[in-house]
Homo-oligomer: A and B are copies of this chain.
Amino acid sequence: MLRVVVLGSGAGGGVPQWNCNCEVCTRARRGDGSVTARSQSSIAVSADGENWCIFNCSPDIRQQIADNAILWPKPGQHRHTPISSVVVTNADVDHIAGLLILREKQGFDLYATGTVLDVLVENPIFNVLDGDYVERRPIVHDQPCEVGPGITIEPFLVPGKVALFNEERMMAEQQSLHIGDESENTIGLEVTSAGGESLFYIPGCAAMTDGLAQRLKGAALVLFDGTVWLDNEMVSQKLGAKTGQRMGHMSMAGEAGSMAAFAGLDVARKVFIHINNSNHVLIEGSHERQQANDNGWEIAFDGMEIEL
- Residues of B contacting A21 with CB < 8 Å? 73-80
B237 touches A101 (CB 8 A): no
Is A188 in the interface zone, CB < 8 Å from B?
Answer: no
> Closest residue to A96 on the B side, CB-wise?
B125
Nearest chain B residue, comparing its CB with the CB of A91: B125
Contact with B along A285-296 (1 / 0, CB 8 A): 000000000000
CB-contacts of A102-132 with B (<8 A):
102-106, 119, 122-128
A93 at the interface (CB under 8 A from B): yes
Q: Cβ of B19 and Cβ of A81 under 8 Å apart?
A: yes
Is there contact, CB below 8 Å, between B164 and A128?
A: yes
A59-78 interface (Cβ within 8 A of B): 59-63, 65-66, 71-78
In residues 165-210 of chain A, which contact B (Cβ within 8 Å)?
Answer: 165-166, 168-169
Which of B128, B237, B238 is close to A165, meaning CB atoms less than 8 Å apart?
B128
**Residues of B with C-beta under 8 A to A100:** 59, 93, 97
Q: Cβ of B66 and Cβ of A104 under 8 Å apart?
A: no
* Chain B minimum-CB-distance residue to A60: B62
Interface size on A, residues (CB 8 A): 60
Q: What CA separation (Å) do A81 and B13 show in the bound complex?
A: 14
Q: Which of B14, B29, B62, B238 contacts A78 (CB 8 A)?
A: B238
Q: Select which of B20, B60, B71, B73 is within 8 A of A73 by beta carbon.
A: B20
Best-buried of A62, A74, A106, A126 by chain B (most CB within 10 Å):
A62
A125 partner residues in chain B, CB cutoff 8 A = 93, 96-97, 119, 123, 125, 165
> Which chain B positions have C-beta within 8 A of A40?
62
Task: Give the residues in chain B near A101, CB-CB below 8 Å.
Answer: 13, 18, 59
Which B residue's beta carbon lies closest to that of A18? Answer: B65
Does A240 count as interface, using CB distance less than 8 angstroms? yes
Tell yes or no: A216 within 8 A of B by CB: no
Q: List 17 A-B contacts (CB under 8 A).
A: A13-B62, A18-B81, A18-B101, A18-B104, A18-B106, A19-B102, A20-B78, A20-B79, A21-B74, A21-B77, A59-B62, A59-B97, A59-B101, A63-B63, A78-B237, A93-B128, A128-B164
